[in-house]
Structure 1
Amino acid sequence: MMSMKKISTKELIGQGYNRFWHNRNFYRVVKGSRGSKKSKTTALNFIYRLMKYPWANLLVVRRYSNTLKQSAYTDLKWAINKLGVKHLWKTNESLPELTYIPTGQKILLRGLDDPLKITSITVDNGLLTWGWFEEAYELESEDKFRTVVESIRGSIDAPDFFKQITITFNPWSERHWLKRVFFDEKTQEDDTFAITTTFRVNEWLDDQDRNRYLSLYRTNPRRARIVCDGDWGIADGLVFDNFKVEDFSQEEAIRTCRDVANGLDFGYVHDPTAFISLAVDEKAKKIYVLDEIYEKGLSNQRIYDKLKSKGYERSTIIADSAEPKSIDELKRLGLRRIKGAAKGKDSIMHGVQFIQNYEIIIHPSCKHFIEEINNYVFDKDREGNTLNKPIDEFNHLMDAMRYAIELIRKPKAGASSSKAW
């Protein structure tokens, strides 16, 4: 059994995570760049620890339950195979859940769709002693995080007993509550171990991926700080600063608001196709971000299929008029109410200035919109002076939002339309 076996952390996990592996602070936090092996290392650590400590059980949490199977659950099954102990573990795909057969210890995976249901979780053997918040940047509310943490309670009379909350994530914005709670010296939570790791500690990363990260320093230095260095997104000079992430009912927002608007920005190989759906409360000056599509490599047929599957086939959609052929093809496929955006001199800034009059309330499921708006800043000249135009990056959903808002700015040009929810 693994509890009787010594392993070499150097051989198993390589460099960069030795302190993390052995740490017993109540909060163990890893902010990492893409490819920094934080999730795989965490999965290995938990499988090893559960087999070592028979009193332990683990709760794995993500913002939405439907994202767990393709992330933490897959990583944990990979870790079981990596450690050569598959015969000692039982997996349950439907929950999902993993059970250590010799003792009945559990790994429970749950979404924060309903945090109150998480607080009532119990286990048959031992205590629920550890929590793992994977991709914790998705948690828009510190309160929801605290609610789950409170479920890690109780103690056992064992000399090696400890409770712990592990938090792993890729950074987005310096405005996120994770920075204040775990990384800012003056406000850092007590009993916290927090580190930042990068792809450079991943000796198993292949040359193609490594070169792809390195090329970002040349092609997109701003993005390289986040993707390659694991640094926070810089909020200085944000184009839109009156926004918040809030868990609201999309259906209620549609009923309350007079207008629903949809925008589409085309992409393919290098840039994503970006679609956004908004509900606008003109009287209260609020824009509710309801839904998004954000994906590279989408043909027009696949764009149509995705929009149809989400209920937008009969909705008015304002698309980037720079691609009239794509608009015509989507119209032939069935998007009868798609039309091109009205562009002209200074149209970007006119759209930006109009939107700046509104508070933007973003549903937490729109994670790519959250990333873009936190990094969409005004450009600067060579001397570092701020220019009156946004940067040409982090702008795919921002452009789609501007197109959608044309329905509100020019109501006579087209009526608003609702989505079938």
Structure 2
Amino acid sequence: MLIDDSAIRINLPKLIDVGYGDFWKTKQRYRVCKGSRGSKKSKTTALNMIFRLFKYPESNGLCVRRYSNTLRDSVFSDLKWAIHKMGVDSHFECTVSPMQITRKATGQKILFRGLDDGLKITSIAVDKGVLCWVWIEEAYEISNEDDFNKLDMSIRGEVPDGYFKQIILTFNPWSATSWLKPRFFDNPDEDTFIKTTTWKCNKWLDEADRNIFLKMQQNNPRRYRIEGDGEWGIAEGLIYEKVRFEDFDIDAVRAIPGIKSAFGLDFGFTDPNAFVCLMIDNAAMKIYVFDEWYRTGVTNKIIAQAIKDKGYGGQRIVCDSAEPKSIAELQEEGIKAEPSRKGKDSVNHGIQLIQNYEIIVHEKNCPEFKKEIQNYCWETDKNGKPTDKPDHEFSHGMDSMRYATGKVLVGDTFSFD
């Protein structure tokens, strides 16, 4: 299929991967696509939104994420990529302040908003034409279904004959406890189109890219289930169940009488180094997780600098006791690093202590910790029954939390030996 617009001709078969034809064509109100990393769901959505501006010259688009500061390096970047991929650069003007993409010939716009923009998200207006397409990228980040409903209700009004309105949701399915699953996937209605895509849909992956997934499938099957096959994270068997996600006021929590701070670091290289910042309210039995830093393939010197850059260079950092060399290197860099408690029962004892507390995770600051705690479960035996050993996958920030809380919840004199 070709689309003509004076000098422009877009060859769709060259742009759309196998497996996305129905996704591209559907006109249902809700077009919902969960998928693996590298499945090209976001790139395909970006191509489709630019294509629709040409096919429907009175239409406009809106791109949404939970936080406005994440828009530039995700959907805005993907749409600029799509414009270039389609060879229509000269037809568009892309600006950052305000962040918008304008089709020069018609004045059509793609606008960008974060749900943290408050009233701005529910009072969207366009200068010309009608708002038809709303793309919610990383919809998994929206933990409150009411926030989605408010946005959904704001996309109203008549459209020209032959036009339609559509809300597109794309995301990685990190947790089966997300409202997205029952709302769209468990009992989809006639207004809902759903799809699951994987990296195998993406013809642009090279051999090195594909090998990443093949190795993950072999070495980290639980992570591969989500990041490779695009299936839901677990909903049962979680180690920590008393968990909330909210953007709490960090200064207000810091002012709680008796509040104690704690910082933990789990070392990695192929696995991520996970640095986690906590505040513990023993009176209310609450642990607040307020900041994080996750990186793979970095040296201890880089870790030390990152801790300093985040403003925690003067804090006591409790680290994995199995890495004395790394602890010593951090100390040489001026970090107050020290080993965590050790002993044959230290892991389970630490978990049991934390299970007595409610864990409140700062969503904006701690996205990786959120993914992990929603998938941190007991390892299963060959019969699929849970054991008393935590599964290694999704354990890095969890180990950091255990290191950090150990000396606060128990005290310096306690030993598991």
TM-score of the aligned structures, taking structure 1 as reference length: 0.92
- The structure 2 residue matched to 1:31, chosen from 30, 34, 52, is 34
- 1:165 alignment partner in structure 2: 167
Distance 1:367 1:142 in 2: 18
- 2:141 alignment partner in structure 1: 138
1:119 aligns with 2:122: yes
* 1:139/1:199 CA distance change after superposition, 3 Å: same
- 2:232 alignment partner in structure 1: 232
Moved more, 37-46 or 211-220: 211-220
- 1:216 alignment partner in structure 2: 216
Tell whether the 8 Å contact from 1:32 to 1:196 is kept in structure 2 after alignment. Answer: yes
Aligned amino acid, residue 23 of structure 1: T
Tell whether the 8 Å contact from 2:10 to 2:86 is kept in structure 1 after alignment. Answer: no
SS of aligned partner of 1:236: coil
Which structure shows the higher strand fraction? 2
- C-alpha deviation, 1:189, in angstroms: 5.8
- 1:180 alignment partner in structure 2: 182
* 1:108/1:2 CA distance change after superposition, 3 Å: farther
- 2:261 alignment partner in structure 1: 260
Instruction: Give a deviation string over 1:28-64, Cα, whole Å, max 9, x none.
Output: 0000111111111100000010122122111111122
Aligned amino acid, residue 279 of structure 2: A
Instruction: Give a deviation string over 1:36-94, Cα, whole Å, max 9, x none.
Output: 11111100000010122122111111122222222111110111111111001001033
Tell whether the 8 Å contact from 2:68 to 2:117 is kept in structure 1 after alignment. Answer: no
1:396 aligns with 2:399: no
Report sequence identity in percent: 51
- C-alpha deviation, 1:7, in angstroms: 4.5
- C-alpha deviation, 1:282, in angstroms: 1.2
Instruction: Give a deviation string over 1:208-259, Cα, whole Å, max 9, x none.
Output: 2112212322222222211111000123211111112122222222222611
- 1:200 alignment partner in structure 2: 200
Aligned amino acid, residue 121 of structure 1: I
- C-alpha deviation, 1:116, in angstroms: 2.5
- C-alpha deviation, 1:8, in angstroms: 4.5
Structure 2 counterparts to residues 72-91 of structure 1, below 5 A: 72-91=75-94
- C-alpha deviation, 1:411, in angstroms: 4.0
Q: How many aligned positions are there?
A: 409
1:320 aligns with 2:323: no
- 1:345 alignment partner in structure 2: 344
SS of aligned partner of 1:70: helix
Distance 1:341 1:177 in 2: 37
Aligned amino acid, residue 354 of structure 1: L
Tell whether the 8 Å contact from 1:3 to 1:53 is kept in structure 2 after alignment. Answer: no
SS of aligned partner of 2:305: helix
Distance 1:404 1:251 in 2: 20
* 1:374/1:403 CA distance change after superposition, 3 Å: same
1:42 aligns with 2:72: no
Distance 1:189 1:368 in 2: 32
Aligned amino acid, residue 403 of structure 1: Y
- C-alpha deviation, 1:11, in angstroms: 2.0
Tell whether the 8 Å contact from 1:59 to 1:107 is kept in structure 2 after alignment. Answer: yes
- 1:66 alignment partner in structure 2: 69
- C-alpha deviation, 1:413, in angstroms: 6.3
The RMSD of aligned alpha carbons is 1.9
Tell whether the 8 Å contact from 1:264 to 1:275 is kept in structure 2 after alignment. Answer: yes
Structure 2 counterparts to residues 270-281 of structure 1, below 5 A: 270-281=270-281
Aligned amino acid, residue 266 of structure 1: F
- C-alpha deviation, 1:9, in angstroms: 3.1
Distance 1:190 1:254 in 2: 48
- 2:361 alignment partner in structure 1: 362
SS of aligned partner of 1:148: helix
Aligned amino acid, residue 113 of structure 1: D
For structure 1, which runs of at least 5 residues remain unmatched after alignment? 415-421
1:55 aligns with 2:58: yes
- C-alpha deviation, 1:2, in angstroms: 4.7
- 2:329 alignment partner in structure 1: 329
SS of aligned partner of 2:154: coil
Tell whether the 8 Å contact from 2:33 to 2:194 is kept in structure 1 after alignment. Answer: yes
SS of aligned partner of 1:91: strand
Instruction: Give a deviation string over 1:115-137, Cα, whole Å, max 9, x none.
Output: 32222232211222221111111
Distance 2:280 2:391 in 1: 25
SS of aligned partner of 2:32: strand
Distance 1:69 1:135 in 2: 14
Distance 1:114 1:330 in 2: 40
Aligned amino acid, residue 181 of structure 2: K
Distance 1:70 1:196 in 2: 24
Distance 1:306 1:95 in 2: 31
Tell whether the 8 Å contact from 2:238 to 2:374 is kept in structure 1 after alignment. Answer: yes
Aligned amino acid, residue 266 of structure 2: D
Moved more, 189-198 or 175-184: 189-198
Instruction: Give a deviation string over 1:110-158, Cα, whole Å, max 9, x none.
Output: 22223322222322112222211111111121122222223212113x2
* 1:58/1:16 CA distance change after superposition, 3 Å: same
- C-alpha deviation, 1:3, in angstroms: 4.7
Aligned amino acid, residue 199 of structure 1: W
Distance 2:342 2:87 in 1: 60
